Structure 1
Amino acid sequence: MTKIDFSSFKHQINLTQYAAYLGYEIDRKKSTRNSIAMRKGSKDKIIISKRSGNWIYFSVYDDQDSGTIVDFIKNRTSKSLFEISQELQVWISGNIALPEPTKYVGHVEERQPDPRRIQRLFNYCTPACGHEYLKNRGITAEALKSPRFSGRVFQDRFNNAVFPHFKEKQVCALELKGKNIDLFVGGSEKTLWRSNTRKGDDTLIISETPIDALSYQILHALRSAFYTSTCGGFSPLQSDIIRKLVTDLSWVNKVILITDNDDGGDAITGRLNNIVTSTNYTGSLTRHSPNVRGLDWNDVLRNRLGI
């Protein structure tokens, strides 16, 4: 039997183009020049990028769903590797009706972590103590200055809210939030956003976004809970970081998942449940989402404040 060489498929076939052919749509607000977010309905969201010249992806909702275009097809169909190779050969030969150029991204730059650039940009940031965008989301100056969140939320020279991520105590990623911006700065290596921990803490709360974490604390005024956020859908690397965090924090006896009350929140909750239960953690694990379908905790806060 002739051995199939999949290497050419993995770097020649634009995965955003192939996904668009299958009906996936670009989420431009969540995409950057290095990372393309695409959705198919409300139950499947993928992040596409390039590594070592190959197109790769991971599912926001399923830790087992990641890899190259071959894995992408295998995880969504019952096709054999031989059948997959036949289909991809058609793409290589150009004998297929391609989607319109507006429906995919022709060029994606390979992501290269640039810690020096991130540190340089972070040096220009100042603590966000009365930020207008955050104020409009119900996040008060008092909350930002509190011992739980002081030094964890910043603003840049363009007045965007900045949520830093750290790796080995060094800043490694900057997430920007503003009226017209929602992205990670180029050169970022995404880990997790975290609040401060305090003596006596016994509860870890995991949110989808830092703003949800801040909102939840304002609403519930918990005294012994600290927060971490995945900042949207999370990669396999972030799964490992969450797993290590839960494993290392032996003094935590409660984990609460404050995910959104929607399909995406349901899927992320499932992933987080799997991660936490795969560790030696023996405490309680619960989900606390808003009561109304479609809401997140910032929606609840703004509704309560009439914003």
Structure 2
Amino acid sequence: MESTILSIKNLNKRYGKIHAVNDVSLEIHKGNVYGILGPNGSGKSTTLGIVLNVVNKTSGEYSWFDGTMQTHEALKKVGAIIERPNFYPYMSAKENLELVCKIKGINYNKINEKLEIVGLLDRKDSKFKTFSLGMKQRLAIASALLNDPEILILDEPTNGLDPQGIHQIRDIIRLIASQGTTILLASHLLDEVEKVCSHVLVLRYGKVLYSGTVDSMTNHSVFFELQANDNKSLTDVLKQHPETDTVSEIEGKIIVHFKNKVDAAQLNQYFFDKGICLNHLVQKRTSLEEQFLALTNK
């Protein structure tokens, strides 16, 4: 069993009549990348604020590291960026990070290593004010990594960046994750979650609409369009396939969703072995986007 880094149970936050976080539960295990996905105002930032001890919860509970330590102790093992990065404009990247090290009691030898990860080592002596928005964000990530956190928490990490900046941040997130750091990021961009996360929690108006792996959210979305000269026997044979979930017919084409991933070549072979030659076999997918919209529009 992988260790639990953060456990959230039935968390609620009310601001007067607004139920900003409505009965949210989430388990974060070591070594995964979690995305909290939802439109603006869905309760993502509030949820992060509660577990980082900057927002008081109304009810529910959360615990860090299997409940083995108090929140203020646990937060020393957490790296978080939840506001716009705040550095001194006339100091260099390196000087700004030295200051963070001083405050947190971290050895200066971490600085180059972290600047390397975010691709800013060659700019370590440049003043912060000369940095682009994307570079500022990358410096903030370097700063949050200085204490070698067990988990890195990012709120809308690519907000306001140009396409190149977005691409760089996503590459950095993947790199950090590949080195074993657990990541929790909040985003309203589906694309972001699909590209970098292994697990996703979809929120709307503070309520959880979906919680699980990104794969199983997308797996449900893969389906095949099939056709043979005799669609009746095609359907009969299809119903014998152990992975078949639902079968329907639209405009002379058989639409099939499978429970788990089925390979097109294997499927073709399966029919061939049963004496059916397909004249049409297309694998399609409902994009995560369509599913997300279906979820959030309900």
> Is TM more than 0.5 here?
no
Which structure shows the higher strand fraction? 2
Q: Place the TM-score, normalised by the shorter chain, in its bin.
A: under 0.3
TM-score under structure 1 length normalisation: 0.26
- Whichever structure has more helix as a proportion of its residues is 2
TM-score (norm 2): 0.27
